[in-house]
């Protein structure tokens, strides 16, 4: 058990909570994930919701989009809140979700004009964000029902999710077989392992799109959350949020999160990049680049509750999106309206528009190769 969990349990004991209240934090292994019907799509397809609990973390995942519908963690007193924005019904996810909690594919973030050339062939992707392709196009991996199986393994519990994207889907070449494993460890960490294979050369960039609010979804703004990102550079964008190709230093800019600062501190600085993003919506060039094993890249902390989220990844980039396009038109899980800045996303990834920037780390996947990346979310209270 790590120090943060020990603190949680001590805090819970002090608050008079029982072992049952703080979930399986005491157990050596978690319970097998349980499945229930969440709803049906218009064509009658069933969508299931899986519930997992381990090491003091409670996770609910939909077969639709692999969506994290709820993620509950305790505060410094052992009090649980759902810290991931979402909906309580499938219809809202289908009708209007801005990728709440979803798996993103085939390509996380934007590809300029939805076009790229690979091995001399040009491809036109589905365009769904002005002139550009965003998060895999009009019907990305977030809008498909995945095959899901639950597992227990030693002190871990988890889900294995499969989706096969046929050759040409959304304009991408090759049949892509994606496998994503969500593991809840005995420490309460949520780990994601992404894998994919293809039968033709293609591009792939998978990520997860949880909207975090460590004070609890629907509780207000995240501008007081404190954030640290281990990155000395970021990728500036044009007005359509496509990287210019430059890797710019963060020193002396609102993008410097090398030392912890609040999300809101510099968000209203009149910087051209913040005007383009309507706030922060940028990719950080993580200092260590691609690594074989996940290493720490970012820490988020809500001072009011004491809840923390620490992210480790094998990926070279991190898209930090400060919830700029939440506009008060969606009602979330707890019945509250989501407004601008009510959550933030920290999406581990390769850089946006990499297929059009040969100098960026490559997102090309060829037959015979296996795409593999991992990201670990650790929580404290
Ligand atoms: C992008 C934002 C976009 C959001 C969708 C983020 O990953 O960077 O520009 O609006 O996803 O909700």
Using the atom order of ligand 1, give the atom closest to the CA of residue 352: 8
CA-CA distance, 356 to 115, in Å (whole number)?
8
Whether 72 is catalytic: no
Residue % of the chain over a pLDDT of 70: 92
The number of distinct structural domains making up the chain is 1
> What would the pLDDT profile of 228-260 be if each residue is shown by its tens digit?
999 999 999 999 999 999 999 999 999 999 999
Domain that holds residue 35: 3-380
Ligand 1 center from residue 321 Cα (angstroms): 7
| Residue 264: alpha-carbon gap to chain centroid | 21
Ligand 1 center from residue 34 Cα (angstroms): 31
> What would the pLDDT profile of 178-224 be if each residue is shown by its tens digit?
999 999 999 999 999 999 999 999 999 999 999 999 999 999 999 99
Residue % of the chain over a pLDDT of 90: 92
Whether 135 is catalytic: no
CA-CA distance, 363 to 109, in Å (whole number)?
12
Using the atom order of ligand 1, give the atom closest to the CA of residue 108: 7
Whether 314 and 296 have beta carbons less than 8 Å apart is answered as no
Cβ neighbours around 35 below 10 Å, total: 16
> What would the pLDDT profile of 88-132 be if each residue is shown by its tens digit?
999 999 999 999 999 999 999 999 999 999 999 999 999 999 999
Whether pLDDT at 27 is above 80: no
CA-CA distance, 289 to 318, in Å (whole number)?
11
CA-CA distance, 351 to 331, in Å (whole number)?
31
Ligand 1 center from residue 61 Cα (angstroms): 21
Residue closest to 208 by CA, chosen among 66, 49, 316, 343: 66
> What would the pLDDT profile of 67-77 be if each residue is shown by its tens digit?
999 999 999 99
**Which mutation among 84, 129, 134 tests ligand 1's pocket best, with the greatest number of atoms within 8 A of CB?**
134
Using the atom order of ligand 1, give the atom closest to the CA of residue 241: 9
Global pTM reads 0.93
Query: How buried is residue 239: exposed, middle or buried, by Cβ count under 10 Å (0-12/13-18/19+)?
Result: exposed
Residue closest to 307 by CA, chosen among 248, 204, 222: 222
Using the atom order of ligand 1, give the atom closest to the CA of residue 104: 7
Residue closest to 23 by CA, chosen among 45, 51, 65: 51
Ligand 1 center from residue 6 Cα (angstroms): 36
Ligand 1 center from residue 150 Cα (angstroms): 30
CA-CA distance, 66 to 59, in Å (whole number)?
12
SS (H, E, C) the chain: CCHHHHHHHHHHHHCCCCCCCCCCCCCCCCCCCEEEEEEECCCCCEEEEEEEEECCEEEEEECECCCEEEEEEECCCCCEEECECCCCCHHHHHHHCCCCCEEECCECCEEHHHEEEECCEEEECCCCECCEEECCCCCCHHHCECEEEEEEECCEEEEEEEEEECCCHHHCCCCEEEEEEEEECCCCCEEEEEEEEECCCEECECEEECCECCCCCCCCCCCCCEEEECCCEEECECCCCCECCCCEECCCCCCCCCCCEECCCCCCCCCHHHHHHCCCEEEEECCCCCCCCCEEEEEEECCCCCCEEEEEECCCEEEEECCCCCCCCEECCCCCEECCCCCEEEEEECCCCHHHCCCCCCCEECCCCCEEEEEEEEEEC
Q: What is the mean pLDDT of residues 21-43?
A: 73
The residue written with tokens 């998978």 in the block is: 206
**Which mutation among 100, 344, 345, 348 tests ligand 1's pocket best, with the greatest number of atoms within 8 A of CB?**
345
Residue whose CA lies nearest to ligand 1 atom number 6: 321
**Ligand 1 shell residues, CB under 6 Å:** 98-99, 109, 241, 281, 319, 321, 325, 345, 347
Whether pLDDT at 8 is above 90: no
Ligand 1 center from residue 284 Cα (angstroms): 14
Q: How far is CA 286 from CA 230, 248, 291, in A?
A: 6, 12, 10
pLDDT at 298: 98
CA-CA distance, 289 to 312, in Å (whole number)?
12
CATH number at residue 278: 2.70.98.10
pLDDT band at 1 (very low <50, low <70, confident <90, very high): very low
pLDDT at 31: 82
Residue whose CA lies nearest to ligand 1 atom number 5: 98
pLDDT at 29: 61
CA-CA distance, 381 to 77, in Å (whole number)?
8
């Amino acid at each position: 058990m790590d120090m943060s969990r020990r603190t949680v349990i001590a805090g819970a004991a002090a608050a008079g909570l029982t072992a049952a209240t703080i979930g399986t934090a005491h157990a050596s292994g978690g319970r097998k994930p349980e499945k229930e019907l969440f709803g049906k799509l218009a064509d009658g397809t069933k969508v299931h919701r899986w519930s997992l609990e381990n090491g003091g973390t409670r996770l609910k995942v939909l077969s639709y989009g692999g969506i994290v519908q709820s993620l509950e963690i305790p505060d410094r007193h052992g009090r649980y809140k759902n810290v991931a924005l979402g909906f309580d019904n499938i219809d809202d996810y289908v009708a209007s979700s801005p990728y709440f909690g979803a798996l993103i594919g085939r390509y996380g973030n934007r590809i300029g004009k939805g076009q790229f050339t690979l091995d001399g062939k040009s491809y036109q992707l589905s365009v769904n964000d002005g002139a550009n392709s965003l998060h895999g196009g009009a019907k990305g991996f977030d809008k498909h029902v995945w095959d899901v199986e639950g597992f227990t393994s030693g002190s871990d519990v988890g889900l294995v999710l499969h989706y096969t994207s046929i050759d040409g889907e959304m304009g991408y070449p090759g049949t892509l077989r994606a496998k994503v494993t969500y593991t809840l460890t005995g420490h309460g960490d949520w780990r994601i392992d992404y894998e994919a294979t293809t039968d033709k050369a293609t591009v792939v960039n998978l990520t997860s799109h949880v909207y975090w609010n460590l004070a609890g979804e629907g509780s207000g703004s995240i501008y007081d959350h404190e954030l640290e990102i281990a990155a000395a550079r970021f990728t500036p964008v044009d007005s359509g949020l496509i990287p210019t190709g430059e890797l710019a230093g963060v020193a002396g800019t609102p993008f410097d999160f090398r030392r912890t600062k609040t999300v809101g501190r510099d968000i209203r600085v009149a910087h051209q990049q913040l005007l383009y993003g309507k706030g922060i919506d940028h990719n950080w060039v993580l200092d260590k680049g691609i690594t074989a094993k996940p290493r720490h890249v970012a820490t988020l902390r809500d001072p009011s509750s004491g809840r923390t989220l620490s992210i480790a990844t094998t990926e070279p980039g991190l898209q930090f999106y400060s919830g700029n396009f939440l506009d008060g038109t969606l009602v979330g899980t707890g019945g509250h309206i989501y407004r601008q800045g009510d959550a933030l996303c920290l999406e581990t990834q390769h850089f946006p528009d990499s297929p059009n920037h040969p100098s960026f780390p490559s997102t090309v996947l060829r037959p015979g190769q296996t795409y593999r990346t991992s990201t670990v979310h650790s929580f404290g209270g």
